[in-house]
Amino acid sequence: APPSAPPNLFKRGRGPLRKFRGVTRLLLTKIPFFKEIIVSSFTCGSCAWSNTEIQSVGRIQEQGVRYTLAATARQDMNREVVKTDCATARIPELDFEIPAFSQKGALTTIEGIIDRAVAGLEQDQPVRRAADKDVAGKIDEFIGKLKQLKEVDSSFTFIIDDPSGNSFVENPRAPQKDDALVVTHYRRTAQQDAMLGLEVLRLGGEGVLKSEVLQFNTNCPECNAPANTNMKLVQIPHFKEVIIMATNCEACGHRTNEVKSGGAIEPLGTRITLRVTDPSDMTRDLLKSETCSVEIPELEFELGMGALGGKFTTLEGLLKDIRNLIVKNPFTLGDSSTPSRVEKLQEFGRKVYQIMEGHMEAHFILDDPAGNSYLQNVYAPEEDPQLKVEHYERTFAQNEDLGLNDMRTEGYETGLTSER
């Protein structure tokens, strides 16, 4: 069956109702620096109607994601965009919004999203002109403003907000940071969880997490087969308790692990800087929470918070994950690659390997506004001359990302009583 039937898929002639058959093609592909998706394309040979949609292969992510792009050049219109069904697209300068679930998911560009919006507005204009010329005139004026945006004569802001965390806006400078693109991961509200059909798992009984390994059913993120996830509360020496979650798929052999902080958000953010000078530094234990960003100034590299999720590993293990994330992507393989980009990414991989082998000195920085990340001090309880730990006051924007600005920690019981 086609992704969505066009109005003229069924045509009536002189005889009985006739049905014209089309062809639906499915393609499993991977978006560089993102994830796998299914592209569904339908074409009707009789009327030439066509339609393209996308579906995320993975599950709903732990956090929602918001991409904010400051479009300043015509090239920004060519950025690839994955917009899922539940994502909202906004252009604040025009007070324009494409609500969630109003369109099917699409793999397109920013220009394509604007063209799609223009086509939707123009579709019923002949009827509007006959019924209400004033309304039709205002819509024509707004359509002109949308078309003018594609020329980027003046800068504007493009926002994709997806509670499921499965939308994406391309960073053409990857793996370097794109100053024009801000990626924000956030905790979903109860209303957003309900919109996505999620239920909150509540664990009862004090001390249950400390005394045993909990197991619950889930689906493999690679093949979607039923799998089991084990969860255990672990105490990290000289730090705090964390929850380690491990999934092992018997169907495809995929294994994954993730770490969640077992405590509250700390009063201050933490910035940990390690000067890597020796291969032995690669054996240091490391806890990277989901709110932590990673920087390597010598490589001009920055990994935003939320990327790679939470991890309890070694410094070498995290560097390998970063190297695989950057080097093993479709831009370095097949017809989609370009020589300059391939060389750029391979050079990055060589430098990461040199750091792991001790042939190149570098600074490794963990910046966690929630204060829940950790890098082992091998001299503990004495000070480590190669390790610098700084605590800082969070900015308003960082508190907003963590959901702290609207959080009530005092007097909330009185508010709940009055609401009841």
CATH class of 62-202: mainly beta
Q: What would the mean pLDDT of 367-375 be, rounded to a whole number?
A: 91
The hierarchical CATH code for the domain 1-58 is: 2.20.25.420
Q: How confident is the model at residue 303 (pLDDT cuts 50, 70, 90)?
A: confident
Residue ranges of domains in the chain:
1-58, 62-202, 214-261, 269-402
Contact 167, 83 (CB under 8 A): yes
Higher pLDDT, 158 or 224: 158
Q: What is the pLDDT of residues 245-255, one digit of tens each?
A: 888 888 888 88
CATH fold match for the domains 62-202 and 269-402: yes
172-208, pLDDT tens digit by residue? 887 788 889 999 989 888 888 888 877 544 444 444 4
Prior bond of 369 cis (ω within 30°): no
Question: Whole-model pTM?
Answer: 0.53
**Fold observed for domain 269-402:** Jelly Rolls (2.60.120)
Homologous superfamily, domain 214-261: ZPR1, zinc finger domain (2.20.25.420)
| Least confident range of 12-26, 134-148, 191-205, 208-222 | 12-26
Cα atoms found within 13 Å of the Cα of residue 407, Cβ hemisphere only: 11
pLDDT 10s digits, 258-293: 777 766 788 899 999 999 999 999 999 898 888 899
Predicted pLDDT of residue 337: 64
- Range 45-59 average pLDDT: 71
Task: Give the HSE-up count for residue 188: Cα atoms under 13 Å, Cβ half-sphere.
Answer: 24
**Mean pLDDT for the chain?**
81
- Give the pLDDT mean for 32-42: 67
Q: What is the structure's pLDDT at 211?
A: 60
Length of the chain: 420
Is the per-residue pLDDT at 410 higher than 90? no
Long-range contacts of 279-282 (CB under 8 A, 24+ apart): 279/356, 279/357, 279/358, 281/315, 281/386, 282/314, 282/315, 282/316, 282/319, 282/356
